[in-house]
Structure 1
Amino acid sequence: MLVEKLLLNVLIILLPIFIHGVLFDNKSVGKSPYLCGILQSLALFLSLAFSYELGGLYWDLRYVPLVVAFLYGGPIAGGMVLFTYLATRTFMGGDLLLGYASGFLAALFPFLFMKSFWTFDAKKRVRTAVIVGFWPSLSMLIILITNTFLSNAAASEDSNKVLMNITIFGVIQIFSVWVAAFLNEALIEKDLMKKEILRAEKLNTLGELAASIAHEIRNPLTVVKGFLQMMHKQEKGDNFYYLSLVLTELGRAESIINDYLNFAKPQFEKLEDAELAEIITEVTILLEAFAAKEGVQVNVKLEWGVFAKADRNQLKQALVNIIKNAIEATEEGGEVFVSQASAGPESYVIVSDTGKGMDQEQLARLGTLFYTTKDKGTGLGTSVSMKIIEAMGGSIAFKSDLGVGTEATIILPTYNKDAAGADPLQGNEAM
């Protein structure tokens, strides 16, 4: 009977996840902690309603919604579920002191892990939820022993049966937390995938539009530039200066147009074995004067002998954009760190700064065409860099905190091969 009731409780625990996935998947209210609190409170209430009384205690999975609400819904959702538990437990009567104590003990660990929970990846979040979900089983055991001791009822209960019930309860409790966490992560992954698909569709549409416009503009611009160059060779005096200025601005316009074309579809002239450490060294040397002008120190840590199939010029352009952005975001006297290391078939290039950082809204829009946090800029640099890296089979991710700085992690498929001799630049460097 206990097993049947607990399995019914498992279905009740999964009910809020299915309701959320079916009814609120594409709605903004689906992100509300209040909705999470209401759904998990409903699950907790039903779990208590279908609990199994044994040994003067109610056996159910009331604590699973509490764990899920705190970890996935935050303090508001968790507080709502805890309040629902206390109110329902009061209505049920019985030993209220032990009932209240068990509720607060069960909420303790989820509350403590709540903030750090979202710093983990999906797999670690599931493991953390299972570990945290074990705590209510432990608190149940503590309360059972306490209740037995206080009532002096140890002799009237079969100790083996009690132990078996606790074991069954603990296994089903942990299993239900694992299933709930796993399904929640599946919903989160599905939501992220939808957002990524929508983002890709928007960027592709914008990219094609920008490329078609840029292509049409570049043709007459090339003709204008050719005639201006001919005039520039023949002119002297003030006109020579003005023509030089016009040609410089035309060059800048051409550079922006090329960025638009690159964004639409990066063109790789030649894929070759490129050593990442060598390319990063060349890029940091190129930006040395710019960093000195901005009063920013660039620290470099490299791992030599790691190669990638890449277009050297395009990869250099992507790294220049990322590192230059980091330098521009850093105030005078600050530092930018560039590190590169390999792990299996992948290599990580991490660019971090000590700048002003970004909030979550800015971070979410980073890489969107025409979006920039700089006073001057088109927002193309980061977008083009992301396109180039993705076209090479890599990926790029950003982390940022206001007042702390931003970190860009570039992951590229790489391989190791024996380098010919030791490189004199190997190790730590600083500009």
Structure 2
Amino acid sequence: MINIIKSTFEDSINCKNEIYLKNEVYEVNTYPLKDTNNNINNTLVLMYNVTSDKISKNKLLQANKMMAIGELAAGIAHEIRNPLGIIRNHSFILRSYSNTNINKSLDYIDNAVRRASRIIDNILNFSRISGDTEEFVNIGEFIHNILELQVKNLQKQGISYKVECINNYKFLINQESLKHILINLLSNAMDAIEENGEIIVKAYEYDEGILIEFIDNGIGINAENIEKIFNPFYTSKEPGKGTGLGLYITYNEVKKLKGDISIESKLGFGTKFKVYLPAGGNSNEGSI
């Protein structure tokens, strides 16, 4: 702020800049005020809180990115599925003419084709826009799919993961919102661990809804920062490594589904996020 006012005095020009103050973003405009002798003795300072505008722009940008990714993923999936279909069909034909050794090789080919198909399905599920539609989601499978999208980065950082959820547990929910919640919590956990750690995701029925626990053994969060963790633009990461919107968006997605989110953390030991979501986003809010 002082530098902006100083520039206005020294250069006799209007200045415009953005400053961050207590997790809020302000647009600062300064104007030199001249007296009757044309000397600048005062500066007019106007400040506008543009936090909501910044958040809206970031959300719109993210939505446009997701739409572009969805269109790209659909095109790539179509192009890749065609040759995979040819490989699968010819593998089936070859089995009728082959011996045991060749059949073993064909098994490897079929397994690779199935794996490639699963990867394509994951990418399409991740990138599709579902709007406000609610549907029954296989929770365990959905969590695994989110984690598998980051499996290379998890392996690179030496992070193992475990999912604890009953088989074929289906829950009525907005898939797009759940996706944003899990992706942001996963990203936060990976940043907290940095390398050689563990992430555990638990999901189970609770109070006529679902409770999801996201646990990491990373660096943890000190008590004074826990109060700020869901504030917009708050980040403890190095400059350029985070927007400070990830957990803010997570909080808003949870509230949009009429749920609740809480956090337990101990510096040096790790963090646990607990997310409660009512079935179908109904009006019965639970507490955790």
TM-score, normalization: structure 1? 0.35
Q: Does 1:330 align with 2:193?
A: yes
Q: 1:215 and 1:310, CA in 2 relative to 1: closer, same or farther beyond 3 A?
A: closer
- Measured after TM superposition, the shift of residue 215 of structure 1 is 8.6
* Equivalent residues of 2:140, 2:163 under 8 A apart: no
Give the share of equivalent positions with the same residue, in percent: 26
Matches within 5 A, 1:53-68: none
In structure 2, the partner of 1:23 is none
1:291 equivalent to 2:154? Answer yes
Aligned CA distance change for structure 1 residues 207 and 269 (closer, same or farther; 3 Å): farther
In structure 1, the residue corresponding to 2:189 is in which secondary structure? helix
**Alpha-carbon distance change, 294 to 305 in structure 1, aligned in 2, over 3 angstroms:** same
Return the match for 1:209 from 33, 53, 61. 53
Q: Secondary structure at the match of 1:284?
A: helix
Question: How far, CA to CA, are the matches of 1:215 and 1:316 in structure 2?
Answer: 15
| Residue ranges of structure 1 left out of the alignment (5+ in a row) | 1-198, 200-204, 226-266, 416-431
What are the within-5 Å matches in structure 2 for residues 4-403 of structure 1? 208-211=52-55, 213=57, 268-375=131-238, 376-403=241-268
Q: Deviations over 1:64-101 (max 9, x none)?
A: xxxxxxxxxxxxxxxxxxxxxxxxxxxxxxxxxxxxxx
1:269/1:355 CA distance change after superposition, 3 Å: same
Distance (Å, rounded) in 1 between the aligned partners of 2:60 and 2:258: 30
Q: Which amino acid aligns with 2:52?
A: E
Instruction: Give the C-alpha shift of residue 414 in structure 1.
Output: 3.1
In structure 2, the CA distance between the partners of 1:208 and 1:305, relative to structure 1 (3 Å rule), is same
Q: Which has the larger radius of gyration?
A: 1
Distance across 1 between alignment mates of 2:261 and 2:60: 31
How many residues are matched?
168
**3-state SS of paired residue (2:171):** strand
Q: CA deviation at 1:212?
A: 5.4
Structure 2: where are the runs of 5+ without partners?
Answer: 1-22, 24-48, 69-129, 281-288
The one-character-per-residue Cα deviations of 1:315-344 (angstroms, maximum 9, x if unpaired) are 112101101211221142211111111124
Match of 1:405 in 2: 270
| Distance of aligned partners of 1:278 and 1:393 in 2 relative to their CA distance in 1, 3 Å threshold | farther
- TM-superposed deviation, 1:269: 3.9
2:153 and 2:141 map into 1 onto residues whose CA distance is 20
Q: Displacement, 1:211?
A: 4.8
CA distance in structure 2 between the aligned counterparts of 1:345 and 1:272, rounded to whole angstroms: 17
Distance 1:335 1:207, change over 3 A: same
The 1:362/1:276 distance shift into structure 2, 3 A limit, reads same
Verify the 8 A CA contact 2:209 2:277 in the aligned structure 1: yes
Report if aligned partners of 1:303, 1:342 keep a CA contact under 8 Å in 2.
no
Distance 1:336 1:217, change over 3 A: closer
Hey, what's the Cα distance between the residues in 1 that align with 2:61 and 2:147? 33
Q: Quote the offset at 1:378 in angstroms.
A: 0.6
Deviations 1:144-184 (A, max 9, x none): xxxxxxxxxxxxxxxxxxxxxxxxxxxxxxxxxxxxxxxxx
Tell me, yes or no, if the aligned pair for 1:294 and 1:328 is still in contact at 8 Å.
no
TM-superposition CA deviations, 1:191-221 (whole Å, max 9, x none)? xxxxxxxx9xxxxx86632255559989xx9
Taking the aligned partners of 2:50 and 2:137, their CA distance within structure 1 comes to 31
Give me the TM-score of the superposition, normalised by structure 2. 0.52
Higher strand proportion (structure 1 or 2): 2
Larger relative helix fraction: 1
CA 1:274–1:382 in 2, change beyond 3 Å: closer, same or farther?
same
Matched residues in 2 for 1:322 and 1:207: separation?
23
Q: Distance in 1 between matches of 2:58 and 2:279?
A: 34
Displacement of 1:314 after TM fit? Answer: 2.6
- Aligned 8 A contact 2:173 2:279 in 1: no
CA RMSD of aligned residues (A): 3.1
Decide which of 390, 396, 414 is 2:279's aligned counterpart: 414
CA separation of 1:274 and 1:206: change in aligned 2, threshold 3 A:
farther
Q: 1:217 to 1:381 in 2, by over 3 A?
A: closer
SS in structure 1 opposite 2:218?
coil
